[in-house]
């Protein structure tokens, strides 16, 4: 009953990814998803170029931003058969003590495609038939989107969605997003959708220009302003807009040490700094500023599956623009696409389509 499938395997850091056949067959409680698209994330490049270790030993198919259609289901998961779905980037087990206490993001039995299990740079993927996010294809079509497009709802959209939600952004908030790229761009849009006035900071003119048209009320080029000037610019913006000088929401989405330094320097009284991006690099910070400002720093690992539908609705309802920030490429061009994303020759979020 298996399906002849293939996936692109990472065998070692920087070694060319290799196409390999396999038979996709779901066990009890699992489903096979025919991949519609899988987004290429900074995290994939971290594994591939920077030596960040995957939990599953190599060889492993990377890719955790996956949409597709359920084409086979094991016992107990039949209800998903035929449905269009987004596969959450982090799938908690749903049954352990942590999950029962609502702490899915730290579930120790969680499965992250492309890290704990084979990922979505593949024709098919076998995943637990639990926590998947159903996609209403009629609404999707009316919104002018293809199923492949919404692959990046997993992670690129939902991770900042969870960060914005958890931080408590509300109408009248001032949000500052450091790094307006593949994740940060959506963070700008989501914070804006939650009612915040949003400042976007980046080192790339094109990204700043793009996000200025989609939710950023102010953009700041971090190449020409130091930390002090950036903070002064945000403070002046707050004053001009009648926003508070306290309780800023800062979202570090660049996943770089420089971005983290900038984000840390934006702490004000009662601030919330959300650490959304990842880097292995350390940064030198005055940790006591959290104390002096009665502020907090919150890490965000993925997004609980129960919040995916609301995040997807932002896209389908047109409150978050997705199409201008993605581009699709054939999956079999994966080695070229990885290199192009790594060298910034591709500016939008690349989605690989089998």
CB 265 within 8 A of CB 176: no
Contacting residue, 106, 170, 209, 345, with a copy of itself by CB under 8 A: 106
Total residues belonging to the chain: 354
The answer to whether 153 contacts a copy of itself (rule: CB under 8 A) is no
Neighbours of 327 (CB within 10 A): 14
- Which residues within the stretch 247-276 sit at the binding site for a copy of itself (CB under 8 A)? 247, 252, 255, 260, 264, 269-270, 275-276
Q: Count how many Cα atoms sit within 13 Å of the Cα of residue 133 in the half-sphere of its side chain.
A: 28
CB 151 within 8 A of CB 30: no
Query: Three-class SS string for 88-103?
Result: CCCECCCCCHHHHCCC
Strand duo 272-275 + 296-299: pairing = parallel
Q: How far is the CB of 257 from a copy of itself (least distance, A)?
A: 8
Please choose, out of 62-70, 101-109, 112-120, 150-158, the segment that lies near a copy of itself by the rule CB under 8 A.
Answer: 101-109
Q: How far is the CB of 114 from a copy of itself (least distance, A)?
A: 16
Contacting residue, 34, 81, 235, 285, with a copy of itself by CB under 8 A: 285
The answer to whether 286 contacts a copy of itself (rule: CB under 8 A) is yes
Contacting residue, 23, 58, 280, 310, with a copy of itself by CB under 8 A: 280
Q: How far is the CB of 267 from a copy of itself (least distance, A)?
A: 9
Size of the site for a copy of itself (CB under 8 A): 41
Tokens standing for residue 138: 């009629």
Q: Which residues pair with 220 in a beta bridge?
A: 201
The answer to whether 200 contacts a copy of itself (rule: CB under 8 A) is no
- Which residues within the stretch 287-346 sit at the binding site for a copy of itself (CB under 8 A)? 287-302
CA gap 247, 168 in Å, rounded: 10
Helices 205-212 + 184-193 axis angle, to 10: 20
Please, what is the Cα angle at 102 between 69 and 104, to 5 degrees? 45
Closest to a copy of itself by CB, 234 or 271: 271
Where do contacts with a copy of itself occur on this chain (CB under 8 A)? 98, 103, 105-106, 108, 246-247, 252, 255, 260, 264, 269-270, 275-302
């Amino acid at each position: 009953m298996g399906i002849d499938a293939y996936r692109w395997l990472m065998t070692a850091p920087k070694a060319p990814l290799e196409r390999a056949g396999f038979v996709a067959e779901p066990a009890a409680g699992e489903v096979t998803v025919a991949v519609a698209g899988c987004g290429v994330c900074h995290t994939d490049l971290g594994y591939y170029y920077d030596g960040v270790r995957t939990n599953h030993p190599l060889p492993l198919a990377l890719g955790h931003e996956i949409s597709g259609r359920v084409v086979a289901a094991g016992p107990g998961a039949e209800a998903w058969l035929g449905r269009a779905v987004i596969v959450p980037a982090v799938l908690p087990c749903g049954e352990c003590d942590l999950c029962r206490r609502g702490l899915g993001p730290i579930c120790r039995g969680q499965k992250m495609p492309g890290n704990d299990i084979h990922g979505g740079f593949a024709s098919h993927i076998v995943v637990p038939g639990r926590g998947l996010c159903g996609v209403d294809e009629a609404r999707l079509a009316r919104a002018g989107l293809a199923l492949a497009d919404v692959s990046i709802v997993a992670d690129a959209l939902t991770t900042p969605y969870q960060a914005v939600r958890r931080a408590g952004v509300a109408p009248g908030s001032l949000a500052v997003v450091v790094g307006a790229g593949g994740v940060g761009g959506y963070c700008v849009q989501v914070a804006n959708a939650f009612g915040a006035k949003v400042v976007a900071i980046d080192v790339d003119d094109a990204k700043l220009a793009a996000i200025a048209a989609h939710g950023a009320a102010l953009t700041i080029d971090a190449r020409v302003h130091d930390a002090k000037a950036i903070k002064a610019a945000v403070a002046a913006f707050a004053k001009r807009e009648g926003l508070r000088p306290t309780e800023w929401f800062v979202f570090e989405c660049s996943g770089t040490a420089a971005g983290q330094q900038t984000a840390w320097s934006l702490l004000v009284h009662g601030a919330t700094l959300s650490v959304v991006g990842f880097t292995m690099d350390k940064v030198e910070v005055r940790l006591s500023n959290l104390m002096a400002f009665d502020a907090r720093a919150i890490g965000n690992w993925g997004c609980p599956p129960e919040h995916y539908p609301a995040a997807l609705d932002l896209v389908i309802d047109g409150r978050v623009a997705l199409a201008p920030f993605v581009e699709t490429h054939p999956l079999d061009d994966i080695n070229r696409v990885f290199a192009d994303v790594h060298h910034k020759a591709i500016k939008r979020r690349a989605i690989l389509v089998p």
